[in-house]
Structure 1
Amino acid sequence: MTTAKLFLHGVPDSPLIWGPLLAALDLGDTPVAVPALPGFTGPLPAGFPATKEAYADWAVGQSEVLFAKHGPIDIVGHDWGALIAQRVAMLRPDLIRSWAISNAVIEPDYRGHRLARIWNTPILGELFMALSKPAKLAKGLAAAGMPADIAQEEAAQWANKDKRRAILKLYRSAKGLSFAHDWALDIAKLPAKGALIWGEGDPYVDLSVAQRYAANTGTPLTVIEKAGHWAIAERPEVVAAALNAHWNAA
């Protein structure tokens, strides 16, 4: 039976970011779910707190639906989706056949990037969100490596105020991006079949973070050369090859 796949995007993205990789993977009849994080492509659901725990619980629910129909799944995450994917695998290893993450990882010594610190700061984060415009965001995303056409589409969603609110709540629930006091304590609970796939030129989460995690845990690390934070969209064929090798490994 073909293993179902769950792809979780990050910040400030949407499921659009997976388009190039899904095309390269050509998964055919494989059951695939590519949901939007609540609040990222539409209004925040009533009562949804947009904390890291809430997003993890939501992703567990997404995994449970796939598991009920198809058995243990392959979960794949990028950026915040990577952190959430790892958390799902920690909380519910019974649902997971394998996990693979790109350009973010629950690593106890990592303390976040500049934007994470801004978003974590009351008033400053709100000012950033109020002053940020889609055109400037698109330019910044493209400069950081996101394909320009996807950057334009992703930036257009910035008009969604709930998305900006959700991002602030999410980062503040993680104290910027610090997991040493909670999620990182459960790294040993992760299923053994995991993989890191990393764009070597990531300006937000340096390659050294992935190398340190790989050295400490024994998790295989594939470095994607000539790519940055959005390696999944910058060099999708190379990432697809790494994922297929991971999925097909004994």
Structure 2
Amino acid sequence: MQLTVNGQTIKYLLRGEGEPILFLHGNPDTSHLWSGMIALLEKQYLCIAPDLPGYGESEIAPDFDFSLSGQANFIDDFVKALKLDSPVHLVVHDVGAFFGLSWAVACSEQVRSITIFNTAYTRDYRWHKLGRIWRTPLLGELSLALMDERTFVGSIRRVAPKLPKNVITQSYQQLTKKTHKTMLKLYRAMNPSVFIGWDERFQRVARQTPVQVVWGSQDPYIERRIARTFGTEKITYLEDYSHWVPAEAPEQAAECLVSFLNDLD
């Protein structure tokens, strides 16, 4: 499926029927990250998973606004274009949280619940080593230019051995020059200071909207302590998994989501 959002063609997965769930992937992934979960959920829910701007098959405008308000505006425009009849259950991972949680702050009335997989949305987070490289001019461009498939697959399998190789390979195959440019612009826009104010506003959203965190404890990029920064005590730690829980353990991830949503009724 595809939609035109602010002149950009956005590709997305649309499966099932029922209450809508909006899935927002991270870096360097695409909507494919959610395929395993969606296969388990589509008989009960309407599952929507876009390729974010500049990722996968989605286009990105040259002047795309990577500020948190700009990312929130994009999600709002995308959701409006879907013409949904009810608020969505929001599910985010990694940099997908920059888009999704910012939208939840700006448009909380459109969000019925929030499920968060390994990410950070706080001024207190400091970028991991690879993130710091991508945030550095010239060094970031060089690192991506030198990243061949063997290096890419090997580096991820070392830190996430339970992540299926085909998922890693597909992510690499989607890493076009367009995606490289998007990654660098996004990471360089996300100084920890940009979250000042937004993180506090999200805490207020979390007091009014059901929020759960599902956390792969073996994550090498984001410290375990970050799981407790989202204003909820509903945290599930999956001790045997790493950063990509939705693809490493789709059955457990889907079970956590369904149990959470069932408790809302």
**1:82-101: CA deviations, max 9, x gaps?**
23221111110011111111
Counterpart for residue 156 of structure 1: 173
Q: 138-147 or 93-102: which moved more?
A: 138-147
1:104-123 aligned at under 5 Å gives the runs 104-123=119-138
Counterpart for residue 60 of structure 2: 45
Indicate whether 1:10 and 2:35 are aligned: no
Which AA in structure 2 matches 1:228?
S
Label 1:134 to 1:182 Cα distance change in 2 as closer, same or farther (>3 A). Answer: farther
User: Which among 79, 101, 124 is matched to residue 139 of structure 2?
Assistant: 124
Give % identity: 29
> What SS is found at the alignment partner of 1:218?
coil
**1:155-214: CA deviations, max 9, x gaps?**
1122x1010000000011112x55443422322342421111100110001212113x15
Label 1:185 to 1:29 Cα distance change in 2 as closer, same or farther (>3 A). Answer: closer
Aligned residues: 243
| CA-CA distance at 1:6 after TM superposition | 0.6
Instruction: Report which of the two has the higher share of helix.
Output: 1
Counterpart for residue 38 of structure 2: 22
CA contact (8 A) 1:135 1:155 kept: no
1:26-105 aligned at under 5 Å gives the runs 26-28=41-43, 30-42=45-57, 44-49=59-64, 51-53=66-68, 54-66=70-82, 68-105=83-120
Counterpart CA distance in 2 for 1:195 and 1:233 is 18
| CA-CA distance at 1:47 after TM superposition | 3.4
Which AA in structure 2 matches 1:144?
V
Counterpart for residue 14 of structure 2: none
CA contact (8 A) 1:4 1:32 kept: yes
| CA-CA distance at 1:27 after TM superposition | 2.2
Counterpart CA distance in 2 for 1:242 and 1:31 is 17
Counterpart CA distance in 2 for 1:18 and 1:173 is 26
| CA-CA distance at 1:109 after TM superposition | 1.3
Counterpart for residue 232 of structure 1: 246
Counterpart for residue 256 of structure 2: 242
| CA-CA distance at 1:64 after TM superposition | 2.7
| CA-CA distance at 1:141 after TM superposition | 2.0
CA contact (8 A) 1:59 1:85 kept: yes
**1:209-237: CA deviations, max 9, x gaps?**
113x15xx234111112000011111111
- TM value normalised by structure 2: 0.84
User: Which among 197, 202, 206 is matched to residue 187 of structure 1?
Assistant: 202
CA contact (8 A) 1:85 1:101 kept: no
Give ranges in structure 2 of 5+ residues lacking alignment. 1-16
| CA-CA distance at 1:29 after TM superposition | 5.7
User: Which among 217, 224, 229 is matched to residue 200 of structure 1?
Assistant: 217
Which AA in structure 2 matches 1:173?
A
Counterpart CA distance in 2 for 1:187 and 1:50 is 20
Counterpart for residue 154 of structure 2: 139
Highest RCO, 1 vs 2 (Cα 8 Å, sep ≥ 6):
1
Which AA in structure 1 matches 2:217?
E
- TM value normalised by structure 1: 0.89
Label 1:116 to 1:33 Cα distance change in 2 as closer, same or farther (>3 A). Answer: same
CA contact (8 A) 1:10 1:80 kept: yes
